[in-house]
């Protein structure tokens, strides 16, 4: 039986590989294999982000719960909710938590997230939703007050125009009493940043190269992993890591599922993912421009958490 290609994947591949520079959205990295590889990345000694954010959640989850007063936590791009359990337990301790709604594109990750939370918090209603976070808040989810958690510095994967659109839409989706908890990686020395995305074990390289496997499996692409090299670059002007695939030689790749033939010159790059790093005051200002008023910030010098509400809807 022939599998019908994902319409969104076909659209993204057709648009991204037909233009200049060539791009592929990072959401297609996160099939089950990619999600598992990213889980390995979070445990690497070079990749400080996960444990830095976990430490902030351990130290400040109780205050976050009290200030937000949310009874439903919605997590965009939840993964396996490994860190989020710390936050949810603080809400439950305060007698606040009724429901947890993890959103992710990986069914396997959602199953693990749901099992983890149900085992730790059996009285909480867990409602997993298979969805891309770019769809923002599910319209069917009416429970309030809600806290939307967007952790892991995933906000940094969006280009500035995408980030503005996302924050504008998210602000418009929040209702009186709702809040946003945003995790963001902070600007630091280039050597440390490059090491975090070019680990000695090569796990990040495998994670980015898995995109080639996704194209082959889903769209019949004959592009091979050995045709391209993983290239992590630090863009100091834009304060971001820029993760790319670079053609090792001239390549002509056929992608039948997208009706596409792609020509890559030797050295030509496919832009796959960015990871922007922030100065916390700049991020607070950016949230304010979207109509989101910051009520608390927490940071350890490496990583930051921002708790915000719609302007004029400040909690006590």
Tokens 């445990």: give the residue. 43
**Each residue's pLDDT tens digit, 256-276:** 999 999 999 999 999 999 999
C-alpha distances (whole Å) from 213 to each of 19, 25, 51, 115, 289 are 21, 15, 29, 28, 39
Q: Does the pLDDT at position 140 exceed 50?
A: no
10-14, 128-132, 151-155, 278-282: least confident range: 128-132
Q: Does the pLDDT at position 5 exceed 70?
A: no
Helix axes 49-68, 84-93, angle to 10 degrees: 20
Domain extent listing, the chain: 7-30+191-276, 49-186+278-309
Residue 233 pLDDT class (50, 70, 90 cuts): very high
Which residues are registered as beta bridge partners of 74? 101, 148
Residue 136 pLDDT class (50, 70, 90 cuts): low
Residue 143 pLDDT class (50, 70, 90 cuts): low
Residue 114 pLDDT class (50, 70, 90 cuts): very high
pLDDT for position 3 = 43
| Angle (CA) 121 124 130, round 5° | 105
State the DSSP code for 2: P
Tokens 């959205």: give the residue. 25
pLDDT for position 310 = 86
C-alpha distances (whole Å) from 170 to each of 147, 217, 260, 282 are 12, 33, 34, 18
- Average of pLDDT values for 56-78? 94
Which residue, 77, 48, 97, is CA-closest to 154? 77
Q: Quote the mean pLDDT of the chain.
A: 92
Do residues 101 and 72 lie in contact, with contact meaning Cβ atoms separated by under 8 Å?
yes
**Each residue's pLDDT tens digit, 283-312:** 999 999 999 999 999 999 999 999 999 876
List, in sequence order, the alpha helices (H) in the chain: 7-18, 32-41, 49-68, 84-93, 107-120, 160-173, 190-197, 203-219, 280-289
Tokens 């976070």: give the residue. 133
Task: Output the six-digit token pair for 27.
Answer: 């959401």
Other CB atoms within 10 A of residue 12 CB: 17
**Each residue's pLDDT tens digit, 165-211:** 999 999 988 888 899 999 999 999 999 999 999 999 999 999 999 99
1-10, 16-25, 27-36, 204-213: least confident range: 1-10
Residue 316 pLDDT class (50, 70, 90 cuts): very low
Do residues 308 and 280 lie in contact, with contact meaning Cβ atoms separated by under 8 Å?
no
- Average of pLDDT values for 65-84? 92
pLDDT for position 142 = 60
pLDDT for position 218 = 96
Do residues 124 and 146 lie in contact, with contact meaning Cβ atoms separated by under 8 Å?
no
Q: Does the pLDDT at position 139 exceed 80?
A: no
Alpha carbons 167 and 227: distance in angstroms, whole number: 37
Q: State the fold for domain 49-186+278-309.
A: Rossmann fold (3.40.50)
Is the whole model's pTM more than 0.85, yes or no? yes
User: Exposed, middle or buried: residue 18 (CB in 10 Å: 0-12, 13-18, 19+)?
Assistant: exposed
Q: Does the pLDDT at position 313 exceed 90?
A: no
Radius of gyration of the chain (CA): 20
Alpha carbons 299 and 304: distance in angstroms, whole number: 4
pLDDT for position 132 = 79
**Each residue's pLDDT tens digit, 27-56:** 899 898 998 999 999 999 999 999 999 999
pLDDT for position 138 = 54
% of the chain at pLDDT higher than 70: 93
pLDDT for position 128 = 92
List, in sequence order, the alpha helices (H) in 255-301: 280-289
């Amino acid at each position: 039986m022939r599998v019908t290609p994902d319409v969104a994947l076909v659209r993204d591949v057709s648009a991204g590989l037909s233009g200049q520079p060539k791009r592929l959205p990072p959401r297609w990295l996160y099939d089950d294999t990619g999600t598992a590889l990213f889980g390995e990345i979070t445990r690497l000694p070079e990749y400080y982000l996960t444990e830095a954010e976990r430490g902030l959640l351990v130290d400040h989850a109780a205050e976050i719960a009290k200030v937000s007063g949310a009874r439903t936590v919605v997590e965009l791009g939840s993964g396996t909710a490994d860190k989020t359990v710390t936050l949810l337990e603080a809400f439950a301790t305060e007698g606040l938590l009724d429901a947890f709604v993890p959103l992710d594109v990986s069914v396997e990750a959602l199953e693990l997230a749901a099992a983890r939370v149900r085992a730790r918090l059996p009285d909480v209603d867990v409602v997993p939703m298979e969805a891309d976070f770019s769809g923002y808040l599910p319209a069917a989810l009416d429970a309030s007050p809600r806290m939307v958690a967007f952790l892991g510095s995933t906000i940094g994967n969006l280009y500035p125009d995408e980030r503005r659109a996302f924050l504008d839409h998210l602000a418009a989706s929040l209702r009186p009493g709702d809040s946003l908890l945003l995790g963001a990686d902070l600007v630091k020395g280039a050597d440390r940043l490059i090491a975090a995305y070019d680990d000695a074990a090569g796990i990040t390289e495998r994670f980015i190269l898995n995109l080639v496997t996704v194209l082959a499996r889903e769209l019949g692409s004959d592009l091979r992993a050995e045709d391209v090299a993983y290239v992590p670059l630090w863009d100091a002007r834009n304060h971001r890591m820029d993760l790319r695939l670079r053609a090792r030689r001239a390549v002509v790749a056929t992608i039948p599922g997208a009706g596409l033939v792609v020509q890559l010159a030797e050295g030509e790059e496919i832009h796959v993912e960015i990871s922007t790093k922030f100065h916390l005051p700049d991020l607070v200002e950016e949230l304010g421009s979207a109509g989101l008023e910051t009520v608390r910030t927490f940071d350890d010098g490496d990583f930051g958490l921002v708790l915000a509400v719609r302007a004029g809807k400040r909690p006590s």
